[in-house]
Amino acid sequence: MMELMKLTERVYYLPYDPEKGRPLLGYIVGQDYSMAIDAGYSRSHVNDFYNAIQKCGFRKPDFTVLTHWHYAHTLGLRAISGVSVAHEKTNAYLKEEQKKAKNENYIDILKKEDAYFAKEYENSNKLEIELPDMEFTKDFQLDLGDAEVYIFRSVSTHTDDAVCIYISTEKVLFLGDATSEDYYNDGYMDREELSAVIHMIEKIDCKYCILSHCEPWEKEELLPYLYHKLENPIFTSNNTAIKK
């Protein structure tokens, strides 16, 4: 079982699991409240996360904030503790997925399309999609007690409902999948969107940047990597697609 890793005094994370396709899950421990970043792939994923949290002597999250609607980040909502929070666009996407899930064959379609999903839901024949408890339209901040957290909408090359979480007191920025390709559009990436994400990161006073499908980066290492991606022809620009 994976262990909870310490990044700073108040920021921890359960690492990305490449064998199962489970994204990294963040945990912010404030003096008064705690917060999770993303709800995980499944009940099993959430249980592993909470066991790792409690093994460190911490409480279950009071809040869980979603970075976007994709299943690996949201299907664990049914198993989480505390209040779940998502942007209104993320909530809208999940409502659409709820409608699709009423079709008994939908889970089988997803299993055929995604090997990770098939493994995570090998013994399931029904897909149950939970909606978040609260939705927001404007950026906001929470004081968890010696941990100032800013939740804001962000441009993204991956999806149009991206949310980032910045813990100013720890100089940590959770980016979710904001720098990843758009896998629902043949893995394309928009040059202007990537440039905007880079400039957003540059403006934020952070030391660490956390992406969902790798180990945490230091900002000074991530930016050169993203600029390298910007210089390579893997983009769609002006509605013209260029394959990798």
Q: Say if residue 1's pLDDT is above 90.
A: no
Band of residue 238 on the pLDDT scale cut at 50, 70, 90: very low
Q: Return d(Cα 4, Cα 13) in angstroms, integer.
A: 6
Tell me whether residue 138 is in a domain: yes
Q: Residues 119-135: pLDDT tens digits?
A: 999 999 999 999 999 99
- 113 inside domain: yes
Q: Is there a domain that residue 90 lies in?
A: yes
Q: Is residue 237 part of a domain?
A: no
Domain region containing 60 = 5-230
Q: Under DSSP, is residue 44 helix (H, G, I), strand (E, B) or coil?
A: helix
Across the chain, mean pLDDT equals 93
pTM of the model: 0.93
Q: Give ∠ CA 122-64-112 in degrees, rounded to 5.
A: 20
Q: Are 179 and 155 in contact (CB under 8 A)?
A: no
**Spatial separation of the C-alpha atoms in residues 128 and 76, rounded to whole Å:** 10
Task: Let me know if residue 197 belongs to a domain.
Answer: yes
Q: Distances in Å between the alpha carbon of 16 and those of 2, 57, 99, 109? A: 9, 21, 29, 25
In a domain, 96, yes or no: yes
Q: What percent of the chain has pLDDT over 90?
A: 87
Q: Tell me if 239 is assigned to some domain.
A: no
How many domains does one find in the chain?
1
pLDDT in tens, 16-58: 999 999 999 999 999 999 999 999 999 999 999 999 999 999 9
Residues 53, 5: Cα–Cα separation, whole Å: 10
Q: What CATH number did the domain enclosing 219 receive?
A: 3.60.15.10
Task: Determine, yes or no, domain membership for 242.
Answer: no
